[in-house]
Chains A and B, each alone.
Chain A
Amino acid sequence: MLLIRCPYCEAERPELEFTYAGEAHIARPAEPSKLTDEQWRDYLFIRSNPRGIHFERWRHQHGCARFFNAVRDTVTDKFVMTYKAGLPRPSLSELENARS
């Protein structure tokens, strides 16, 4: 079973308690009415889908019920680190530290 560390509960919990909630750090445009159709489409549907490090949102639904962000490697399916929602994207050196 995949164990995920919830940054709010500060504990490793089984994957069953969590739900995936898409890519992280996608800010809603401040003024949607000024966007072109293409820009709006990009905001709604176009995702990075990387091979390797992926920043994503998860929700600890059957625990503290909070959304948080996680860094997961899409190749190995291993979680590099998790951090609270609202915090900036961790830097490369922070990711390296978390991995080692």
Chain B
Amino acid sequence: MLHQHHPLVGREIAVNTAVPLVIRPAADTARFSLRIDPAELAKASEVFGLQLPAKIGGLSRSAEKRAVCLGPDEWYLTAPLTEQAAVEGAFAELYAEVIHSLVDVGHREVGIEIEGSDSVLALQSAVPFDVGAMPVGSGCRTIFDRAQIILLRETQHRFHIEVWRSFADHVWGILQAAGREIELGI
């Protein structure tokens, strides 16, 4: 029987000593769903204190705030819990000028951080599109093994998932299984 041997099989050059995979629950934040006319985006950006991305899939971040454009007139905003009241108050003032809807969805979702050189591999086990091809600094709503999530790619090797808390256990279980497989090299 003919076996084909690759001369380099089983060898490895490990240059990147970074942690291959760390999955942890993210710290709680205030979360908002914002619906506003895209033409009024500049005003909303000013009120939120962060330039909101104009294009679907766009993600903008500052030290503590985050804004991702999910649809033509839909944005998902996160801010520190201490600023929740300030953000709500500022948008309430804007309402006199520009009609919009800002809904607090902080109770609905939980965050999961996925970091490491194998993070793409772990996510790819349950996300149906090509995660590796996702541009850095982008985010979108998608499906994670039948549960709807918001997936953000913050850096090359760091992702963030926002998922409804009722689905969180399920998503965590899948990530745990994927992490175990990566650990064992399956």
Question: Could you tell me if A64 and B56 are in contact, using CB atoms closer than 8 angstroms?
Answer: yes
Question: Could you tell me if A66 and B129 are in contact, using CB atoms closer than 8 angstroms?
Answer: no
Question: Given A62-B142, A62-B148, A63-B141 in contact, is the A13-B129 Cβ separation under 8 Å?
Answer: yes
A52 CB–B CB distance under 8 Å = no
Q: What 0/1 readout, one digit per residue, does chain B (41-58) give for beta carbons within 8 Å of chain A?
A: 000000000000000110
Q: Which of B71, B74, B148 has the most CB of A within 10 A?
A: B71
Residue numbers of A with Cβ under 8 A of B are 1, 8-14, 16-17, 62-66
Bound-state CA distance A91–B90 (Å) is 48
B70 CB–A CB distance under 8 Å = yes
B153 nearest CB across to chain A (Å): 14
B128 CB–A CB distance under 8 Å = yes
Residues of A close to B140: CB separation below 8 A: 9, 63
B72 CB–A CB distance under 8 Å = yes
B143 CB–A CB distance under 8 Å = yes
B92 nearest CB across to chain A (Å): 25
Set A8, A14, A64: member contacting B129, Cβ < 8 A: A14
B105 nearest CB across to chain A (Å): 14
Question: Could you tell me if B142 and A65 are in contact, using CB atoms closer than 8 angstroms?
Answer: no
Question: Given A1-B128, A64-B56 in contact, is the A8-B143 Cβ separation under 8 Å?
Answer: no
Within B91-111, which residues are at the interface with A (CB < 8 Å)?
none
Chain A residue nearest in CB terms to B56: A9
Residues of A close to B74: CB separation below 8 A: 64-65
